[in-house]
Amino acid sequence: MHRVDWGERAVETGLRMLRCELRACPRSQSALLAASLLVIAVGENGCSRRAEPAPSPPRHNVLVITYDTTRADRLSCYGYDKRTSPNLDALADDGIRFDTAISQAALTPVSHASIFSGLLPQHHGVRVMYAAEGYRLPREVPTLATILAAQGSKTAAFLSAFPVSEFFGFDAGFDEFDNGLDGRPEGVLTERKTGAWDWESSASQRRSDQTTDRALEWLGETKEPFCLWVHYWDPHDASLRPPREVNQRFLPPPSAGHWARYSGLYDAEVFYVDQQLGRLLDALKNQERYDSTVIVVVADHGQGLGDHDHWYHRILYQEQIRVPLVMRLPGGPKGRVIPELVRTIDILPTILEALEVNPPERSDGRSLRGLVEGRTEPSRTAYAEALVLYDLNARDLLQQRPDDELLHCMMDKSWKLIYRPLHPEKSELYHLDNDPRETNNLFAQEPEQAARLLAELEQLDPFVAGPFGAGTDQEALDHLRSLGYTGD
């Protein structure tokens, strides 16, 4: 008798929830059906489980494309004088281009963790490429994939290099996770590096055309709603070379010298990745899914290319952390350019809002919807970090640039502080409006601006007092070494 009474109460509770859902979300017929079925099941079984309504599936598909190592100012839609990005330019004309988007780190795993969690590094926990701890995204951190998978989206990731692999915890929430490390040699320049040890680049990366082939295969077989992440790596270094005809278009003659050739190859790689973006967008259009998909293209960081006496990345000047960010939202504006400062942590809340999916409890980012719709909003400040000293993968950089051992950046649209906690007197302050290339350090001349940004930095409390964990994770170290990823 008691069991039946409880069952009746459960039915009542379930019906109350159902009525609430009806008022809150009249569009979701399938969720209502699922909730009704759950109520019936509870009533019949007298089970003590609380009746939870099933989540309603997201209303749109999601395609996030992350460009590794791609400087905003090397893309034609960001003003570059070579036509390196015709497909991204067209997407920007058809959507929204953010002119001042700041990445939270110029290091692949740290930056990607912020993009997909909407959290600052000190909150998601990925701070370095490698140490005993602090390099893996904890399973309990909600990400775009875990959130949308729980809502019923089909999720897949097609990636091009080891630094976004499951080693760093990026596989959570994906039904299909293709890390790009299957060692298929075709189309890849297999370069045998020699040094402290030998390694083959094809074991840790693949070219963008191969990644795109796999993503297109999956798209063709997958019903909606889906959440697809595609990651491209080509511009990261000189290992993945585009086909000869693309190279010839951008490469200067050998007489131009090594670094001019390197820079030309970079343009060729950026262009080749853009061709792959075009293939993905064409597929969405052919499948009539272009208008029902939230499309985001963003870079994880830029590349030095000789600026500030640095050719690669990890540090925090604008060529490193100002990234391209282009979005197209179903029903959203076309051809809008947003000059305000935004952060890559704002991407996750923006996507979820477009999908009418609740954001996670903790978020450091803020949805960009207001800016997208042309409303005036309180301005943002952006944080970025480089913890070179505690990254066992950054020994070379530490030797070359000892002053860059620990860098914490706080910036607004006009002013930027690069703070060195171990040597505050060597910190840098730039007035970006007057000095966008950061050549005139005003740290000593403008103490009030420096103090203002430092106070904001201290509020975020990103400082690290010592190494991440004790010793090394030997298994992880061996794995990294086999892929050529230990820079000692």
Continuous segment of H or E residues that includes residue 100: strand 96-102
Q: How far is the CB of 375 from Zn ion (least distance, A)?
A: 33
Give the nearer residue to Zn ion in terms of CB position, either 43 or 304.
304
Q: φ, ψ for residue 24 (rounded to 5)?
A: -75, -35
Q: How far is the CB of 59 from Zn ion (least distance, A)?
A: 31
Q: How far is the CB of 174 from Zn ion (least distance, A)?
A: 19
Residue 111 identity (one-letter amino acid): S
Q: How far is the CB of 301 from Zn ion (least distance, A)?
A: 5
The span from the first CA to the last CA of the chain, in angstroms, equals 72
d(CA 166, CA 174): 11
Give the nearer residue to Zn ion in terms of CB position, either 43 or 109.
109
Give the nearer residue to Zn ion in terms of CB position, either 105 or 411.
105
Give the nearer residue to Zn ion in terms of CB position, either 209 or 300.
300
Closest-CB residue for Zn ion? Answer: 108
Give the nearer residue to Zn ion in terms of CB position, either 312 or 463.
312
How far, in Å, are 14, 17, 31, 58 from residue 38 at the CA level?
Answer: 8, 11, 10, 20
How far, in Å, are 65, 120, 164, 165, 460 from residue 112 at the CA level?
Answer: 11, 11, 8, 11, 20
d(CA 180, CA 151): 27
Q: How far is the CB of 246 from Zn ion (least distance, A)?
A: 21
Give the nearer residue to Zn ion in terms of CB position, either 274 or 300.
300
What is the CB neighbour count within 10 angstroms for residue 418? 24
Phi-psi region at 192: left, alpha or beta (left = phi > 0; alpha = psi -120 to 50): beta
d(CA 372, CA 331): 11
Q: How far is the CB of 105 from Zn ion (least distance, A)?
A: 9
Structure-derived torsion over alpha carbons of residues 186, 265, 113, 428, reported in degrees to the nearest 10: 160
Continuous segment of H or E residues that includes residue 32: helix 29-45
How far, in Å, are 38, 61, 150, 224, 314 from residue 27 at the CA level?
Answer: 19, 17, 19, 17, 46
d(CA 11, CA 1): 15
Question: What is the binding site for Zn ion (CB under 5 A)?
Answer: 68, 108, 300
Q: How far is the CB of 111 from Zn ion (least distance, A)?
A: 6
d(CA 54, CA 25): 13
| The pair of three-digit structure tokens given for residue 210, joined into one six-digit string | 């191969």
Q: How far is the CB of 251 from Zn ion (least distance, A)?
A: 23
Continuous segment of H or E residues that includes residue 348: helix 347-355
Give the nearer residue to Zn ion in terms of CB position, either 300 or 428.
300
Give the nearer residue to Zn ion in terms of CB position, either 236 or 416.
236
92 three-state secondary structure = helix
Give the nearer residue to Zn ion in terms of CB position, either 35 or 105.
105
Q: How far is the CB of 485 from Zn ion (least distance, A)?
A: 13
